[in-house]
């Protein structure tokens, strides 16, 4: 029984010393130059946090982010600035990240002007070129964001990111707010840009079907941990982790309803106090005793295919499908 005073004391203590949330837990992620990695998981699994850490927007409390072998947290001066420009993030809602009082020409031209990427007199030409690149009519440069559709606004956001010549884009749910047909158009645009500009992409989505056509490799996260990583075809044809398999089973439902899937059976547990052992065990139909006590390590099931599951044991056998569910 807690009386009011006690409750207030607890609240004060929590405010002073909030519970530590391990948003990311021993995550190792390698992205090769020119590669497109799709990062997938339910909301709250830590994928946005990972995207921000990788992009250098959020410091890693432990470990390091290496870019071309250099720890990005230790870069200084011109090198740090160059790294920041070379990595750009594109967010979900272009409306909230585009200043409504600025014309598109200013929005796209601001960063290259500030950073001296082109001489001031060439900014307008650069803006026109970028708008053309993302499939917008340069004649619309003097309009305001609200005069564009959602898909066009996302193109403006992409043009703004490209204006500083990045070679690495982190797309965080960049198309989640758009209609399915518009999503496909923006994905096609990113596929083309990736080729034309030799971009490296980390494409974050809660929706496995969305990353399929753009990613070379898919990485699946669950409660702050990477549970599976494999070439895209391998994920769709021969997923080994029960969580990935559950996500795959949800896909037909997304396509029919045209919007985001309900979560896999059961609630996603709190990241403040994640389940012991394998974080997925309370929701996993294949869980065995060891799953409740011991964390499965991420290890190769096949070359290039990493799985963190006590049943995906690296023997090359589809171990999961051979075991009977225990419940």
Query: In sequence order, what are the beta bridge partners of 168?
Result: 87, 200
Query: Counting contacts by CB under 6 A, is residue 278 touching ligand SF4?
Result: yes
For residue 39, the minimal CB distance to ligand SF4 (Å) is 19
For residue 43, the minimal CB distance to ligand SF4 (Å) is 20
Question: Helix, strand or coil for residue 232?
Answer: helix
Encoded tokens for 208: 């496995």
Among 24, 130, 291, 319, binds ligand SF4 (CB under 6 A): 291
Query: Counting contacts by CB under 6 A, is residue 130 touching ligand SF4?
Result: no
Give 237-240 contacts, CB < 8 A, sequence gap 24+. 238/305, 238/318, 240/301, 240/305, 240/307, 240/309, 240/312, 240/318, 240/319, 240/320
Query: Counting contacts by CB under 6 A, is residue 47 touching ligand SF4?
Result: no
Three-class SS of 233-279:
HHHHHHCCCHHHHHHHHHHHHHHHHCCCCCCCCCCCCCCCCCCCCCC
Q: How many CB atoms lie within 10 A of CB 102?
A: 14
The Cα 76–Cα 25 span in angstroms is 27
Question: Helix, strand or coil for residue 49?
Answer: helix
For residue 27, the minimal CB distance to Mg ion (Å) is 15
* 284 interacts with, out of ligand SF4, Mg ion, none, CB within 5 to 8 A per kind: ligand SF4
Ramachandran sector of residue 193 (left: φ over 0; alpha: ψ -120 to 50; beta: rest): alpha
Encoded tokens for 307: 């799985």
State which residue, 142 or 276, has the beta carbon closest to ligand SF4: 276
For residue 88, the surrounding DSSP H or E stretch is strand 87-90
* 48 interacts with, out of Mg ion, ligand SF4, none, CB within 5 to 8 A per kind: Mg ion
User: Which region, judged by CB under 6 A, interacts with ligand SF4, from 12-20, 167-175, 176-184, 281-289?
Assistant: 281-289
Query: Which is it for strands 36-40 and 200-205: parallel, antiparallel or unpaired?
Result: parallel
Reference 220, options 209, 208, 210; nearest CA is 208
Among 286, 298, 306, 319, binds ligand SF4 (CB under 6 A): 286
For residue 224, the minimal CB distance to ligand SF4 (Å) is 14
Query: Counting contacts by CB under 6 A, is residue 222 touching ligand SF4?
Result: no
Query: Counting contacts by CB under 6 A, is residue 284 touching ligand SF4?
Result: yes
Interface contacts to Mg ion, rule CB under 5 A: 48
Q: How many residues bind ligand SF4 (CB under 6 A)?
A: 13
For residue 116, the minimal CB distance to Mg ion (Å) is 33
Residue located via tokens 């001296």: 116
Q: How many CB atoms lie within 10 A of CB 140?
A: 15
Among 170, 177, 218, 311, binds ligand SF4 (CB under 6 A): 311
State which residue, 50 or 320, has the beta carbon closest to Mg ion: 50
For residue 44, the minimal CB distance to Mg ion (Å) is 8
Ramachandran sector of residue 11 (left: φ over 0; alpha: ψ -120 to 50; beta: rest): alpha
User: Which region, judged by CB under 6 A, interacts with ligand SF4, from 16-24, 29-37, 112-120, 286-294?
Assistant: 286-294
Among 183, 274, 296, 305, binds ligand SF4 (CB under 6 A): 296
State which residue, 206 or 305, has the beta carbon closest to Mg ion: 206
Among 41, 242, 271, 274, binds ligand SF4 (CB under 6 A): 242
Chain positions contacting ligand SF4, by CB under 6 A: 241-242, 278, 280-281, 284, 286-287, 291, 296, 309-311
């Amino acid at each position: 029984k807690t009386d009011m005073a006690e409750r207030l004391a607890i609240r004060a203590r929590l405010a002073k010393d909030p519970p530590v949330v391990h948003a990311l837990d021993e995550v190792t992620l390698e992205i090769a130059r020119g590669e497109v990695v799709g990062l997938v998981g339910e909301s709250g699994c830590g994928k946005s946090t990972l995207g921000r850490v990788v992009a250098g927007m959020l410091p890693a409390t432990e470990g390091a982010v290496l870019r071309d072998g250099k720890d990005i947290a230790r870069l200084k001066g011109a090198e740090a600035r160059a790294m920041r420009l070379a990595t750009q993030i594109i967010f979900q809602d272009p409306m909230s990240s585009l200043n409504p009082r600025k014309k598109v020409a200013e929005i796209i031209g601001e960063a290259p002007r500030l950073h001296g990427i082109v001489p001031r007199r060439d900014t307008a030409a650069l803006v026109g070129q970028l708008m053309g690149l993302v499939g917008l009519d340069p004649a619309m440069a003097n309009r305001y964001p609200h005069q564009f559709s959602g898909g066009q606004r996302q193109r403006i956001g992409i043009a703004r990111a490209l204006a500083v010549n990045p070679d690495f884009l982190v797309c965080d749910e960049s198309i989640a707010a758009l209609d399915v047909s518009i999503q496909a158009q923006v994905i096609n645009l990113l596929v083309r840009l990736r080729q034309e500009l030799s971009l490296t992409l980390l494409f974050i989505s809660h929706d496995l079907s969305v990353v399929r056509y753009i990613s070379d490799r898919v990485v699946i996260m669950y409660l702050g941990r990477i549970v599976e990583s494999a070439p895209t075809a391998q994920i769709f044809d021969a997923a080994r982790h029960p969580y990935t398999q559950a996500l795959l089973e949800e896909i037909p439902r997304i396509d029919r309803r045209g919007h985001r899937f309900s979560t896999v059976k059961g609630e996603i547990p709190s990241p403040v106090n994640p389940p012991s052992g394998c974080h997925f065990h309370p929701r996993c139909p294949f869980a065995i005793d060891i799953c409740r006590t011991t964390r499965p390590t991420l290890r190769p099931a096949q070359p290039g295919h990493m799985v963190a599951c006590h049943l995906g044991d690296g023997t090359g056998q589809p171990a999961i499908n051979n075991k009977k569910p225990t419940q």
